[in-house]
Amino acid sequence: MIFSIWDTSPTLHPDTVEKDSRTVASRFGGEGTGAHTHLDYNWKLGKPYRYFATKEHDTSGKNVLTKLYFYDDQLRKWVHEATISNPDDGHISVSTFGGGLNAFLENFLGQEKEKPKVALYRLWLGTKPDNMENVTTGSGDGNWGVLGDTFYLAEGNESDVDAVFQKSHKRGQTVIRGKADRSTLQVPERKLPVRTIRELDKLVSSKTR
């Protein structure tokens, strides 16, 4: 699980200030530079994973603390993967989640490109857990669209991906293919469970991050 933040400028660098004992922190380069963290996890295909990210200024008001949590099904609790402190230097995009929200399916090493892969996404936004709203409108390019009631991104041999969608159709899930012409698709709103809101509220209000 990778959590990274790009440098604000060539001289203003983010820094990992807190992390789980399993999290590895370092600098990254290549496509830009910044602070990098990752945590090795025993992923299971077909299983949903939940993440929660927050942003707030530190006590000096000069740096933004971005915190990433994930729900560890093995431990049955939310885990604080890392906190990265980033100098904003007046850049509003540092203290917010930028001008837009994006998801992408990346095959970083380029292995098994033809093997079908489908990732499903749901996203909520808000200023605190009890007012987060579900993102229900999206657009994109590549192999994207709506599967059932959820946005998807896919990769792989087209006929093999189609076979995956055909199996989903037999289970009663409709497939709507997205276009790359800035047109949008919508999914029905899904409310966060009250239990999840309470769990996230405890993370935000906890003095021990």
pLDDT tens digits, residue range 172-184? 999 999 998 889 9
Which candidate, 66, 103, 108, 111, places its Cα nearest to that of 86? 66
Using a 10 angstrom Cβ sphere, with 0-12 exposed, 13-18 middle and 19 or more buried, the burial of residue 13 is: middle
Cα 176 to Cα 82, 100, 139, 189: the distances in Å are: 36, 23, 12, 17
> Tokens 């808000």 sit at which residue?
126
Q: Residue 208 pLDDT > 60, yes or no?
A: no
Per-residue confidence band for 209, with pLDDT thresholds at 50, 70 and 90: very low
Side-chain half-sphere CA neighbours of 127 within 13 A = 0
Which candidate, 102, 192, 187, 193, places its Cα nearest to that of 136? 187
- Mean pLDDT, rounded, for 147-174: 93
Using CA atoms, how far apart are residues 150 and 187, in angstroms rounded to an integer?
6
- Percent pLDDT > 70 in the chain is 97
Which candidate, 159, 164, 162, 155, places its Cα nearest to that of 113? 155
Q: In what order do the strands lie in the sheet with 24-28?
A: 2-6, 34-38, 24-28
Q: Which residue has the higher pLDDT, 145 or 98?
A: 145
- pTM, entire model: 0.90
- Mean pLDDT, rounded, for 103-116: 88
Q: Residue 70 pLDDT > 50, yes or no?
A: yes
Which candidate, 146, 179, 127, places its Cα nearest to that of 136? 146
| Confidence (pLDDT) at 110 | 86
| Confidence (pLDDT) at 40 | 95
Amino acid occupying residue 109: L
Q: Residue 113 pLDDT > 70, yes or no?
A: yes
Using CA atoms, how far apart are residues 101 and 207, in angstroms rounded to an integer?
29
Q: How many residues does the chain have?
A: 209
- Mean pLDDT, rounded, for 47-75: 94
Per-residue confidence band for 97, with pLDDT thresholds at 50, 70 and 90: confident
Q: Which residue has the higher pLDDT, 102 or 26?
A: 26
